[in-house]
A = this chain, B = another copy of it.
Amino acid sequence: MTAATTDVPVRQASLRTHNLGLVLRQVAASAEPISRADVAAATGLTKATVSTLVDELLGGGLLVEVDPPPRTGSGRPAIGLRLAAKGPAGLGVEITVDAIATCVVDLTGAVRVALRQVADQREREPGAVLADAAALAADALATARSEGVEPAGLAVAVPGLVSDGVVRLAPNLGWREVNVAAAFTDGGLPGPPSVENGASLAALGELQAIGDGGASFLYINGEADIGAGVVLNGHLHRGSRGYAGELGHVTIRPDGPRCRCGARGCLQTYASLDVILAAAGLDGAPLARLAALARAGAHPALMALDEAGTALGVAAADAVNLLDVETVVLGGGYALLAPWLIGPLEREIADRVTAHQWAPVTARASTHGESATVMGAANSIVRAIHAAPATYLRPT
């Protein structure tokens, strides 16, 4: 989309807002500290305009100046600019069936604090789980502040269907109509919290990690349930009502096994982590055990992984036929199992995607490990700051 199709009048005030973002993102895109003159050249803004905007971003705590490199040749080296590591940051929280996690990511994308409590959350009251998560977030906030980092927003990742801050349904946790946002509005946490599906936030984290602003991919998250995030042209597709990404309930066989959702033959019934472990005769075992057996060439493990990879491939091929994304990313537990899932998955895509010959698709493991989702949550706030820095300027 270009500016021309954005129905917002551009007047002087929004011009400043727009260009502040432009300058900040130009600094962010530069691997090395960048001078005001280079920002001007890259953005097409005048040097005078850039100087004014940079002063605002420096004063507001979003940029810092760094000393020029030693003088080489003629001319005086210019002062460089880079993103402020101490300044507005993102606070992320993740709730899964077996852990609560939180982290703080600063404006440069660096993880400054990361806390994780491993414990089964399924037997507990939602209120107790949320209170623990909010307390953990408050700990992370205090630690970040002690380092001069100030989280400017909070995103909470939960497994399941989410809208308006409410978990409508999280089958694994046994949650239904749980107001998650309300649990994070006290205790001095930055607010209001945004609550989103975990796989969607993991996809956003992957987008940040690969550093390709226009990437399109399907992120498939293997947790207790199968989640997915759909990233199109560098944007997370959330859906009309916020429920996109339910890849786990794409139909593999219309008359297949009954799924917990009530339908038959959902991907979930062929390729969830529990189903893979059971098929390999490893009910309840850790995934690492399955991976070790597969590495040793154990037939039941390899068979189970091939069947799951095939089902994942059928569902991924549906998504690729529909959306023409160039990559399928395996995250969560699937990242560990990727060496055995990718073969059958890519085979199904090659067989089933009509345009495959002209538009090949690659499958790969996610960039981040088990922290992908909570980092994605924190990064979603950092992303918002990059998109609209004027909103986050510290009063000078």
Interface residues of A (CB under 8 A from B): 1-11, 14-15, 17-19, 21-22, 25, 43-45, 161, 163, 168-169, 216, 228, 230, 232-233, 235, 237-254, 261-263, 266, 310, 314-315, 317-319, 321-326, 351-355, 357-359, 387-388, 390
Q: Which residues does chain B contribute within 8 Å of A21, judged by CB atoms? A: 4-5
Can you list 21 A-B contacts with CB-CB less than 8 angstroms, sorted by A residue number? A3-B3, A3-B6, A5-B388, A7-B22, A8-B22, A9-B19, A10-B18, A11-B44, A161-B358, A168-B355, A230-B322, A240-B325, A241-B326, A243-B324, A244-B323, A246-B322, A246-B324, A249-B352, A250-B322, A251-B318, A318-B322
A266 to chain B, nearest CB (A): 8
Q: Which residues does chain B contribute within 8 Å of A18, judged by CB atoms? A: 3-4, 6, 10
Contact (Cβ within 8 A) A358 B241: yes
| A228–B324 alpha-carbon span in the complex (Å) | 13
Contact (Cβ within 8 A) A359 B243: yes
Q: Which residues does chain B contribute within 8 Å of A3, judged by CB atoms? A: 3, 6, 8, 10, 14, 17-18
Known: A1-B235, A3-B8, A262-B351. A247 touches B322 (CB 8 A): yes
A120 to chain B, nearest CB (A): 24
Q: Which residues does chain B contribute within 8 Å of A235, judged by CB atoms? A: 1
Pick the 3 closest A-B CB pairs, nearest first. A239-B324, A243-B355, A241-B359
Q: Which residues does chain B contribute within 8 Å of A163, judged by CB atoms? A: 358-359
| A136–B120 alpha-carbon span in the complex (Å) | 69
User: Which residue of B is nearest A233, CB measured?
Assistant: B240
| A355–B262 alpha-carbon span in the complex (Å) | 12
| A249–B241 alpha-carbon span in the complex (Å) | 26
Known: A9-B43, A240-B359. A249 touches B1 (CB 8 A): no
Known: A11-B45, A239-B323, A243-B359. A314 touches B2 (CB 8 A): no
A275 to chain B, nearest CB (A): 16
User: Which residue of B is nearest A160, CB measured?
Assistant: B354
| A65–B249 alpha-carbon span in the complex (Å) | 54
| A10–B46 alpha-carbon span in the complex (Å) | 11
Contact of A247 among B321, B351, B352, B357 (CB under 8 A): B321
Contact of A22 among B9, B19, B241, B387 (CB under 8 A): B9
A220 to chain B, nearest CB (A): 11
